[in-house]
Amino acid sequence: MAYVITQNCCNDASCLAACPVGCIHPTPDEPNFATAEMLYIDPGTCIDCGACADWCPVDAIKSDRVLTPDQAPYPAMNAAYYADNPIQPGWRHRDAPPLVTIGRAPLRVAIVGAGPAAWYCAEELLGQPGVEVSMFDKLPTPYGLVRHGVAPDHPATKRVIDQFRFDRDQSARFGLFLNVEVGEHVGHAELMDHHHAVIYAYGAATDRRLDITGEDLPGSVAATRFVAWYNGHPDYADLDPDLTGRRVVIVGNGNVALDMARLVVTDPGKLAGTDMADHAVAALRRSNVEEVVILGRRGAADAAFTTPELLALTQLADVDVVVDAPDLTAELTAASNATVRGKLALLASLPDTAPDPGRKRIILRFSTVPLEIVGADRVEGVVVATTEVAAGADGVRRARVGDRTEIIDTALVIRSIGFRGTALPGVPFDEVTGTVPNEAGRVIDSASRHPLTGVYTSGWIKRGPSGVIGTNRLCAKETVANLLADFLADRLPTPRAAGSALTRLVRDRQPDTVDARGWAAIDRAERSGGAETGRPRRKFTDRAAMVEAARPHPVRRLALSVLTRSR
């Protein structure tokens, strides 16, 4: 008997510290940790104690005695990792280097962004006595892609935010400034005036471009927008994607593509029980889509999606997953790594033509690249070409466009080829990588390449848009350890203005600032709205409604004004 790690694994490695026998790998100090799809438990070493399950923030670790039928493949998947990566005799997990204990205060740090990358930084900082943190986000709600990116039918993944709770002492040292845009309401220099340091952890909010003709036709939509639309992001509530056609084409085959494909063909009745935005559920109820084609420019062995997400796709009721991969058998024979072999074996077990034309289907098409998106005044189809994949001198396998082309008819093309960061005024930015240039989280000047005093970065805007939520935990540890080391070495400037002046400045510039209490009020209102219909929450999708919900209740407002007047 053993424990196994299943689909929701967030890779944040919290479970490692709990394991008394070191049976969870890869660990952050092992070379394949950065690229691992998930963590795995070695069944031969596990002593079935369950300590790791108690520490898992997303409930991904289960005893092999209580697996659901959908989780049945996971014991073999966990064991397969160790066929290629046996635990070395005498191996011992080295704990992460101890964090700097600063022992003197105050240290005031601003964090720009309120997604998981930002919260992991806040958690590290507030674990130090006397450190004060102010967190800013341009939206009136926190949690970034946990709220506006994670698929609504993945509620366990969203539980990761339950860790971002502070005790009374930490809360007193933490200020939340939502609905405040850095660069618009408050600038970089002003943040530096009020803090010893600023950490930029604002993620990657926009999309990469295909750079092909027709990319901007109506009906060609970036995945970043489509995902934000169904997740109730207030800026994309009006997107209104065209779901009138029979087929949707998605370009790119990462996990975001799989999320979107799954949601488009899932029974909207089931989605109505999630926190998906009301407008998206209504649009999916009206949808005519029967088929989603996902295009991967390279072969199946190079698919960007992970095996757990593919497995979940194959377990959808009433939906067939069809594989169109010309070289699948050869790729399976050549595969040298257990993770790729497992993924290819799962793909090889799926049909290569739709078994029942009456059912909805997702077609995973490989070695195919879009050349042009066509249509008179909106999308009518996409011209695609086959590709051949070959490794370059640098060892990277790249797709070369072949000579067979065809048109796939569709009214909706979703471009899901990765996220991209954007620049903030006053902060260095690398246009090529779409990231803030840095060395281990210390932001460096674009021209001189020297570290900028007191400026740091973490998360996707630091390292690019890859990795799952938990990857940001170790990323935050690195950034914060360097920030604290700089503070101890007297390398940080002393703030010119008092911390208390910051709240006044921000409120003057943005009277509709939403603080921690305001967010708690929005959260309560959304949860109680959802509870009425058995949903986890019913999201506000309009900024004005969020700001209104954040205002103190009229009775409390009256009590506050009486109290203020009587002072």
Return the sign of the alpha-carbon dihedral for residues 34, 35, 39, 45.
negative
CA-nearest of 198, 133, 174, 194 to 494 is 194
For 222-256, what is the HEC assignment? EHHHHHHHHCCCHHHCCCCCCCCCCEEEEECCCHH
Q: Which is nearer to ligand NAP, 136 or 226 (CB)?
A: 226
Smallest distance, ligand NAP to C-beta of residue 95, A: 26
* Strand partners of residue 213: 372
Asked if residue 205 lies in contact with residue 520, where contact means CB atoms within 8 angstroms, the answer is no
DSSP 3-state of 21: coil
Q: Does 309 bind ligand NAP (CB under 6 A)?
A: yes
Which residue of 75, 142, 144, 254 would you call a contact of ligand NAP, by CB under 6 A? 254
Spatial distance between the Cα atoms of 205 and 401, rounded to a whole number of angstroms: 30
* Strand partners of residue 250: 294, 414
Which whole-number Å values give the CA distances from 244 to 7, 230, 279, 290, in the listed order? 32, 17, 15, 10
Asked if residue 551 lies in contact with residue 557, where contact means CB atoms within 8 angstroms, the answer is yes
Q: Which is nearer to ligand NAP, 255 or 386 (CB)?
A: 255
Q: Which is nearer to ligand NAP, 128 or 339 (CB)?
A: 339
Spatial distance between the Cα atoms of 254 and 550, rounded to a whole number of angstroms: 36
Which residue of 77, 180, 199, 251 would you call a contact of ligand NAP, by CB under 6 A? 251
Q: Does 331 bind ligand NAP (CB under 6 A)?
A: no
Q: Which is nearer to ligand NAP, 393 or 489 (CB)?
A: 393
- Beta strand 131-137 with 107-112 is parallel
Q: Does 252 bind ligand NAP (CB under 6 A)?
A: yes
Spatial distance between the Cα atoms of 288 and 311, rounded to a whole number of angstroms: 25
Give the interface size with ligand NAP as a residue count (CB under 6 A): 24
Smallest distance, ligand NAP to C-beta of residue 223, A: 6
Identity of residue 38: M
Which residue of 255, 315, 386, 405 would you call a contact of ligand NAP, by CB under 6 A? 255
Q: Which is nearer to ligand NAP, 420 or 535 (CB)?
A: 420
DSSP 3-state of 202: coil
* Strand partners of residue 420: 206
Q: Which is nearer to ligand NAP, 210 or 265 (CB)?
A: 210
- Cα–chain center distance at 254: 12
Q: Which is nearer to ligand NAP, 11 or 513 (CB)?
A: 11
Spatial distance between the Cα atoms of 95 and 16, rounded to a whole number of angstroms: 9
Which residue of 210, 344, 373, 424 would you call a contact of ligand NAP, by CB under 6 A? 210
Q: Does 541 bind ligand NAP (CB under 6 A)?
A: no
Q: Which is nearer to ligand NAP, 197 or 301 (CB)?
A: 301
Which residue of 160, 256, 293, 340 would you call a contact of ligand NAP, by CB under 6 A? 256
Smallest distance, ligand NAP to C-beta of residue 434, A: 12
Rg, the chain, Cα only:
25
Which residue of 180, 260, 319, 468 would you call a contact of ligand NAP, by CB under 6 A? 468
Q: Does 73 bind ligand NAP (CB under 6 A)?
A: no
Q: Which is nearer to ligand NAP, 259 or 512 (CB)?
A: 259
Q: Does 3 bind ligand NAP (CB under 6 A)?
A: no
Spatial distance between the Cα atoms of 397 and 180, rounded to a whole number of angstroms: 43
Smallest distance, ligand NAP to C-beta of residue 154, A: 6
Which residue of 18, 80, 87, 304 would you call a contact of ligand NAP, by CB under 6 A? 304
Contact pattern for ligand NAP over residues 388 through 427, marking x by CB under 6 A = ----------------------------xxxx--------
Q: Does 467 bind ligand NAP (CB under 6 A)?
A: yes
Asked if residue 128 lies in contact with residue 102, where contact means CB atoms within 8 angstroms, the answer is yes
Smallest distance, ligand NAP to C-beta of residue 99, A: 26
Smallest distance, ligand NAP to C-beta of residue 100, A: 29
Window of 85-93, 172-180, 246-254, 320-328 that interacts with ligand NAP by CB under 6 A: 246-254
Smallest distance, ligand NAP to C-beta of residue 302, A: 6
Q: Which is nearer to ligand NAP, 251 or 476 (CB)?
A: 251
Q: Which is nearer to ligand NAP, 254 or 437 (CB)?
A: 254
Q: Does 302 bind ligand NAP (CB under 6 A)?
A: yes
Which residue of 430, 466, 516, 551 would you call a contact of ligand NAP, by CB under 6 A? 466
Smallest distance, ligand NAP to C-beta of residue 205, A: 12
Smallest distance, ligand NAP to C-beta of residue 417, A: 4
Kindly give the residue spans of alpha helices, DSSP state H, lying in 139-247. Answer: 144-148, 155-158, 168-172, 188-194, 223-230
Contact pattern for ligand NAP over residues 281 through 300, marking x by CB under 6 A = ---------------xxx--
- Cα–chain center distance at 121: 16
Burial grade of 311 (CB within 10 A; 0-12, 13-18, 19 or more): buried
Spatial distance between the Cα atoms of 30 and 514, rounded to a whole number of angstroms: 42
Which whole-number Å values give the CA distances from 186 to 182, 205, 313, in the listed order? 5, 20, 44
Which residue of 253, 287, 458, 513 would you call a contact of ligand NAP, by CB under 6 A? 253
Asked if residue 248 lies in contact with residue 408, where contact means CB atoms within 8 angstroms, the answer is no
Q: Which is nearer to ligand NAP, 295 or 455 (CB)?
A: 295
Tell me which residue has its CB nearest to ligand NAP. Answer: 254
Task: Supply 526's token pair.
Answer: 């959304």
Burial grade of 390 (CB within 10 A; 0-12, 13-18, 19 or more): exposed
CA-nearest of 509, 510, 522, 508 to 551 is 522
Q: Which is nearer to ligand NAP, 296 or 428 (CB)?
A: 296
Smallest distance, ligand NAP to C-beta of residue 218, A: 21
Spatial distance between the Cα atoms of 390 and 384, rounded to a whole number of angstroms: 19
Q: Which residues bind ligand NAP (CB under 6 A)?
A: 210, 251-257, 259, 296-298, 302, 304, 309, 369, 416-419, 465-468
